[in-house]
């Protein structure tokens, strides 16, 4: 545990030694504000909630999170530092989890910095803060899912651009599975059981459920399983690359 936390702290510190962290945070905050107050018609809706804020999170994460995860292992492989890491008395899974937790913590920090929007909606009205807290939890879990997928893909290539593109495609497919238009296509010919299975694979379905204020055990299990499976796959990929 101490080794894993040490890797997490080292990785998290490295974000702030380069402009990457600051650029990511500025872009994330700028986009969330723009989408909430302008594209989301925050004032025109006349409702004291943050639906217009959270509705855009899946699509923001679709591009921003892969830009963060693409460097997790691609850069290590490109620079050759992964060989040094593998010679240290560190279990591979500890390195995988440590680097993932650092990226997830950093994303959580960027998400936490959106608190002025929460303050604004409380100033203008009386929102259901319980629903908002649940939506924040759902957003953080969804970000973890995006990161786990991106981290696994990053381990497969030395090229960060390729890692970014593949992660965007993979995450887009996981979002698309819960899109109403896709589900309608399946429901036109497939039994309801299959439609439910397709929907259950989607980030969108589980995030939408939590963002309504209902923290269902099934949604928590989905994100926990997704993250665990992707991190396990990440470890397997690195082991295979080590054997090459």
CA distances to 16, 17, 30, 104 from 142, rounded to whole Å, are 23, 26, 20, 10
Q: Are 50 and 117 in contact (CB under 8 A)?
A: yes
Tokens 């997928």 found at = 149
- pLDDT tens across 119-130, in order? 888 888 788 888
Buried b (16+ CB within 10 A) or exposed e, 100-122: bbbbbebbeebbeebeebbebbe
Measured CA to CA, the distance from residue 83 to residue 154 in angstroms comes to 16
Phi, psi of 215 (to 5 degrees): -90, 95
User: Predicted confidence band at 50 (pLDDT cuts at 50, 70, 90)?
Assistant: confident
Q: Which of 164, 152, 137 is nearest to 241 (CA)?
A: 152
92 pLDDT more than 60: yes
84 pLDDT more than 70: no
Span of 12-26, 55-69, 78-92 with lowest mean pLDDT: 78-92
Q: For residue 88, what pLDDT is reported?
A: 67
Q: Which of 113, 99, 199 is nearest to 147 (CA)?
A: 99
Domain boundaries, the chain: 2-243
What's the chain's average pLDDT? 85
DSSP string, 47-91: -SS-HHHHTTHHHHHHHHHHHHHTHHHHHHHHHTHHHHHHHSS--
User: Predicted confidence band at 202 (pLDDT cuts at 50, 70, 90)?
Assistant: confident
Q: Which of 210, 236, 238, 234 is nearest to 223 (CA)?
A: 210
Q: Which of 224, 2, 233, 36 is nearest to 119 (CA)?
A: 36
- CB-side neighbour CA atoms (13 Å) of 33: 14
User: Predicted confidence band at 146 (pLDDT cuts at 50, 70, 90)?
Assistant: very high
Q: For residue 95, what pLDDT is reported?
A: 86
- CB-side neighbour CA atoms (13 Å) of 107: 27
Exposed / middle / buried, residue 217 (Cβ in 10 Å: 0-12, 13-18, 19+): exposed
- pLDDT tens across 63-77, in order? 999 988 888 888 777
């Amino acid at each position: 545990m101490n080794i894993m936390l040490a890797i997490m702290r080292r990785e998290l510190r490295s974000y702030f030694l380069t402009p990457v962290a600051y650029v990511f945070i500025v872009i994330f905050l700028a986009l969330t504000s723009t989408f909430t107050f302008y594209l989301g018609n925050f004032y025109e809706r006349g409702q004291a909630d943050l639906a217009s804020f959270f509705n855009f999170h899946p699509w923001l994460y679709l591009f921003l999170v892969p830009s963060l995860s693409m460097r997790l292992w691609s850069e290590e492989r490109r620079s050759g530092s992964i060989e040094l890491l593998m010679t240290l008395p560190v279990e591979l899974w500890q390195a995988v989890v440590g680097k993932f937790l650092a990226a997830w913590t950093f994303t959580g920090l960027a998400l936490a910095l959106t608190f002025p929007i929460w303050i604004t909606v409380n100033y203008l009205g009386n929102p259901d803060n319980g629903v908002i807290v649940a939506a924040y939890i759902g957003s953080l879990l969804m970000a973890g899912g995006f990161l786990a997928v991106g981290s696994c893909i990053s381990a497969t290539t030395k090229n960060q651009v390729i890692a970014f593109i593949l992660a965007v495609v993979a995450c887009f497919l996981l979002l698309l599975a819960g899109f109403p238009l896709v589900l309608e296509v399946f429901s036109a010919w497939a039994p309801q059981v299959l439609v439910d299975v397709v929907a259950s694979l989607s980030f969108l379905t589980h995030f939408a459920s939590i963002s309504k204020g209902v923290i269902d055990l099934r949604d928590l299990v989905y994100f926990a399983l997704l993250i665990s499976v992707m991190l396990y796959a990440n470890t397997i990929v690195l082991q295979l690359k080590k054997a090459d």
